[in-house]
Structure 1
Amino acid sequence: MLRLFAALPLPPEISRPLRKLQKDLVGARWRPEENFHVTLCFFGELRHTQARDLDELLGEIEAPAPTLSLEGAGWFGRREPTAVWARVRESDELRGLASACERAARRLSIPLERRPFTPHVTLAYCHATLLEDARAWTERHQAYSSEPWQAGAFHLYSSQKRDGGPSRYIAEADYPLSGFTAPEGMY
C-alpha cells in the first residue's frame, strides 16, 4: 500500500523564507522545508495497481501552469487547531488543476475527503495548541506574502513514515503543465 497525494512543489526561493514563520506557537510540530508543498488532492492508501492506474490518469491531465503566490496564514480545526499554514492565493488555473486530480481519483472510485479545497502550505501540525494561540499566530502573519512563481509541473507524492520524525515525501511521478516558462538561468 502507498499513501499518495498530488501536489505542487515549492521552489527554494519561496520555501526558504517560510521557515521564519515557524516559531512562537506552543504545541506546533514544525514541518521541514523539504516537506513544503501545495496539495491538490489527497488520495490516501492505495494498492500498487491503483497507484499505477492513477499515475496513468494524472498523466493525461492537460492544464495550464498556474502562477501562485502566498498571502497570509490560517489554521485548521474549529475547537482545537490541528495545523497552521500559509495561504496560497486562489486562481481558476489552480482550482481547475485540483479538480482534474479529483476527477482522476473518482474515475478509479478512490474515496476522497469531503473537505473544500483550501490551497495552502502546511507549516506545522498542532497538538494541544490553544485556539487563542493559533489565532494570535495567524494574526501576526496575515501580512505575509511571497513573490509570485509559476508551477511548471505537479507531482504524485508518496508519504513514508519515519521513526520519531516527520513523514518523508517522495515525488514518485511528475506531470508537466502547459505554458510553463522556465526562469532565466534555471536550465
Structure 2
Amino acid sequence: MTQPPQPVTQHAFIALAPPDDAKAELEHALSPAYAAYPGLRWNRIEDWHVTLAFLGELPVEVVQRLRAPLADLAASRPSLDLALAGGAHFDERVLWTGIEGDLEGLHELGASVRARVRECGVDFVERPLRPHLTLARARRNDHESVPAAAAGLAGFAGRPWRTERLHLVGSTVKGHEGRRRYQDVDAWTLATSQRMGSPNP
C-alpha cells in the first residue's frame, strides 16, 4: 500500500500551552459565544497556545534542527505564573483572550527563544510579542461577530496557572476550508517544573 507523501515543509512556531483545567474554564466562559456566533471559525481547544515566536514555513529538517537547542533553553528557564483574562480582537477579524501574570518573565522567555532560533541560523520575520491566545477568526464580510464575542469576554478572569513546558509546534493545512491542524514536534519541561517534580534528596 502506497504511503502518503511526507511534508517537506511545515509552518512552525514556539509556544506555551495552558493546562487543561484553565482551558476548560475559558471554554465554559465561551459557551454563550459558541451558541451566538456559530459562523466564526473557532479554534479547536486542543490547539490553544500562547505563541512566543512564529517561524513561518520552514523545511522539516530545519524544524528538527531546533529541537536540541530549545531543549537546552527550556532546561535553564523558570516556569511562569500566568492567567487568561478578558477578550479583545485584532481588526474585527481575530478574537483572542489576554494573558496576565508574570508578563516580564514571559517577554524575557520570548526574547530568549527568538535569540536561540537566530543562533541556529533560522531566518524568520520577528513580530512584537503581544501575549494572547487566539480563539476564533471571522469569515469574509463578517465584521460584527468578533467584536461582539470579545465584549462578552470582557469580564472573564481565569485562575492562575503555571507554565510547565516549552512547545515546538508544526502545523499543516487539512480539509476543504484549509484549516490548520497543530501537532507538537517536541516539548520540553521548564526548569522550575523539573525541580518541582524531582524527589527530595
- Give 1:131 deviation, angstroms: 4.5
Which deviates further from its counterpart, 169-178 or 107-116?
A: 107-116
1:167 aligns with 2:180: yes
- Give 1:172 deviation, angstroms: 1.2
In the alignment, the residues of structure 1 paired with residue 128 and residue 155 of structure 2 have an alpha-carbon distance, to the nearest angstrom, of 24
Partner of residue 89, structure 2: 75
Choose the corresponding residue for 2:96, options 73, 85, 95. Answer: 85
Q: Larger C-alpha radius of gyration, 1 or 2? A: 2
Partner of residue 106, structure 1: 118
Identity %: 26
TM (normalized to structure 1)?
0.84
> For 1:127, what is the secondary structure of its paired residue?
coil
1:38 aligns with 2:46: no
In the alignment, the residues of structure 2 paired with residue 114 and residue 3 of structure 1 have an alpha-carbon distance, to the nearest angstrom, of 15
Gaps of 5+ in 1: 183-187
In the alignment, the residues of structure 1 paired with residue 82 and residue 176 of structure 2 have an alpha-carbon distance, to the nearest angstrom, of 33
Partner of residue 10, structure 1: 18
The 5 A counterparts of 1:115-154 are 115-128=127-140, 130-154=142-166
Partner of residue 185, structure 1: none
- Give 1:120 deviation, angstroms: 1.2
In the alignment, the residues of structure 2 paired with residue 8 and residue 118 of structure 1 have an alpha-carbon distance, to the nearest angstrom, of 13
TM (normalized to structure 2)?
0.79
- Give 1:95 deviation, angstroms: 1.1
RMSD of aligned C-alpha atoms?
A: 2.1
- Confirm or deny: 8 A CA contact 2:137 2:146 kept in the other structure: no
- Give 1:41 deviation, angstroms: 0.9
Give a deviation string over 1:21-56, Cα, whole Å, max 9, x none: 142347521111111111111111111332122222
1:71 is matched by which residue type in structure 2?
Answer: A
- Confirm or deny: 8 A CA contact 1:26 1:133 kept in the other structure: no
The structure-2 alpha-carbon separation of the partners of 1:132 and 1:126, relative to structure 1 and needing over 3 Å to count, comes to closer
> For 1:65, what is the secondary structure of its paired residue?
coil
1:122 is matched by which residue type in structure 2?
Answer: T
Gaps of 5+ in 2: 1-8
